[in-house]
Chain A
């Protein structure tokens, strides 16, 4: 299992950003996928989950309406659309596979910095 996040960078408060996670070495469409973030010097925070068949999505309550998880199994890619970004969204964002519960295999992460 190999997951590679991309799309991070510096973005101004209030702007949007879409980050991606490309998977390889496994049958991407068979797996549910998580997004998890870690603010600098802080702990892990679960953000969102999409089922393997893409029919259901789940979010951290406080992010509903601002973040959206999606997947394109033809491209073996997971996405996280982040809107109206705030300084407190600054973090390393990780994607991870879900086999039965909590995240299993993780990518290396992509850093998103929200600053003016």
Chain B
């Protein structure tokens, strides 16, 4: 399995909403509900913000929401704030033990708040 496809960058003004797609296949995103999203600031470890497609872990902002349609998962950030400027990655379970990779990450999206 190759990396899931995300746009390299997305930008918007404060207060606006953005959606980041994460495109895969029936072997990963389309076949399972184990899709997560992470926020990563420069020089910091990734932080889980969405798991199992749409669930938010304790402490994650309610402005983050997740969804999935077919083989594409999406992260929506509502009411964009300056603190949302970071890199975002999706992750999906990618199959059985015979797969090339049990889990696969997205290519990453840099969010810029204008």
Contacts and interface: CB of A to CB of B under 8 A. Distances in A.
Decide if A and B are genuine partners.
Answer: yes
A73 to B, nearest CB: 22
A49 interface: yes
Interface residues of B, number: 29
A104 interface: yes
A31 interface: no
Interface string B1-43: 0010000000000000000000000000000101110100000
Contacts of A102: 34-36, 51, 91-93, 103
A44 interface: yes
Interface string B88-114: 010111000101111111111000000
A61 B108 contact: no
A79 to B, nearest CB: 19
Interface in B65-98: 89, 91-93, 97
Contacts of A54: none
B36 A101 contact: yes
Interface of A: 34, 36, 43-46, 49, 56, 58, 60-62, 94, 100-109
5 pairs of A and B residues whose beta carbons are closest in the complex:
A101-B34, A102-B91, A102-B36, A46-B103, A61-B100
